[in-house]
Structure 1
Amino acid sequence: MMCQIVILYYSRHGATQSVARQIARGVESIPQCEALLRTVDELEGESSAQDPVICLEELKHCDGLALGSPTWFGNMAAPLKHFWDKTTPLWLSGDLIDKPACVFTSSSSLHGGQETTLHTMMQPLLHHGMMILGIPYSEPKLHSTQSGGTPYGASTISSLGGKLSDDEIVLAQQLGKRLANAALKMKER
């Protein structure tokens, strides 16, 4: 019984993509779990994405979802919002109800709007009936991080040269593990 977790993100300069890759590592560290790294189309111009663009069928059939975006004025990036605006068929059929989900982000500074961006990404997931997971304070790195990571989801500060801190790596991987374990439990029901 394989459990398929979609790691869906938009990343313009690579910081959000770096977090996505660490969440995928966490997912795949759990036996019987597979991470599918996916992105969304650009609204203008050519995409420099290294991962395939998501299709609604992949989202429909996933067992869990990690959703990530850079912080744009305290909100998710427009290409990601545009994608969610096209998911009405999944909403009407209830295909995402009771599936576990989490969110992650990157910003250019510590006070760049990470938590508000994480909240904006939760809104469409809640409307779809998904179950939102965060990072519990039982995770020690959440108490000591000097860069990214919140109880609402994994994060990074992209102004640190695009390289994730050790704390950010641990928190992203722990979030991926938590998501995979929750998806496995739901699938066994």
Structure 2
Amino acid sequence: MRPSNCTILILYYSRHGATRKLAELMAQGVESVPGCDARLRTVPAVSTVAEATAPDIPAEGPPYVELSDLEECDGLALGSPTRFGNMASAMKYFWDGTSTQWLAGSLAGKPACVFTSTSSMHGGQESTLLTMMMPLLHHGMLVLGLPYTHPELMTSKSGGTPYGASHWAGLNGDNPFSEETRTLTIALGKRLAETACKLRRAP
């Protein structure tokens, strides 16, 4: 019987499309590794109006994440735009509802990485990446960063950190993706997938 491929969950929230583009670049890196599949998922926006509800299926893009996606994945890439140096409330709201998976250890021992986009160059890229690591560490995940063996970390002027991939989207969210950002994001996805495959094969 042929073993199933490694599944890497790429979970993100995006308002204006920059973080979604990072997720797609991450998926390129994941799927460049033989035997690895990327599963793109998003989360619904959180409304300030208590009665407001989102449809079960998004109008566009990938479907909303389900808790079973966490249980089924072999690795996780987590992405959010920056909100005052922190992850967006929609992503935080999702993680606040994962106590059952935490108690069961569903994510323990699986590799993970993080990525973000900001409207200003110093809008909190690194602090947002660090805040996204917190729930992953509580879930027992093995958090990966980007090593300085990637020379783009030394030359990038638009994002990219050892904590994870990042992009300076600009005030209107329309700054183009630099070659450094593309290279680093794809490299992080590849590193995550390779690590997940190695861990899966380990006795």
TM-score, length basis structure 2: 0.90
Q: What SS does structure 2 have at the residue aligned with 1:36? A: strand
- Aligned counterpart, 1:115: 126
CA RMSD of aligned residues (A): 1.2
Q: Which of 78, 91, 99 is residue 110 of structure 2 equivalent to?
A: 99
User: Structure 2, unaligned stretches of length 5 or more?
Assistant: none
What is the aligned-residue identity percentage?
55
Larger C-alpha radius of gyration, 1 or 2? 2
* C-alpha distance in 1 between matches for 2:24 and 2:154: 23
Amino acid at match of 2:62: D
Offset of residue 163 of structure 1: 2.6
Q: Is 2:168 the counterpart of 1:157? A: yes
What do the CA deviations read for 1:46-65 (whole angstroms, capped 9, x no partner)? 56551110000011110000
Q: Is 2:188 the counterpart of 1:185? A: no
What do the CA deviations read for 1:110-141 (whole angstroms, capped 9, x no partner)? 10000000000000000000000000000111
What do the CA deviations read for 1:19-60 (whole angstroms, capped 9, x no partner)? 100000000000000000100111126565511100000111
Bigger mean CA offset, 129-138 vs 158-167:
158-167
Q: What SS does structure 2 have at the residue aligned with 1:84? A: helix
Amino acid at match of 1:186: L
Q: How does 1:167-186 map to 2 (within 5 A)?
A: 167-186=180-199
TM-score, length basis structure 1: 0.97
Q: Is 2:16 the counterpart of 1:13? A: yes
Q: Is 2:86 the counterpart of 1:81? A: no
**8 Å contact from structure 1 (residues 39, 52) kept in 2:** yes
Corresponding pairs, count: 189
* C-alpha distance in 1 between matches for 2:23 and 2:81: 11
Q: Structure 1: which 4+ aligned runs deviate by more than 2 Å?
A: 44-49
User: Structure 1, unaligned stretches of length 5 or more?
Assistant: none
**8 Å contact from structure 1 (residues 4, 62) kept in 2:** yes
Q: Is 2:35 the counterpart of 1:37? A: no
Higher helix share: 1
What do the CA deviations read for 1:65-86 (whole angstroms, capped 9, x no partner)? 0000000000000000000000
Amino acid at match of 1:36: R
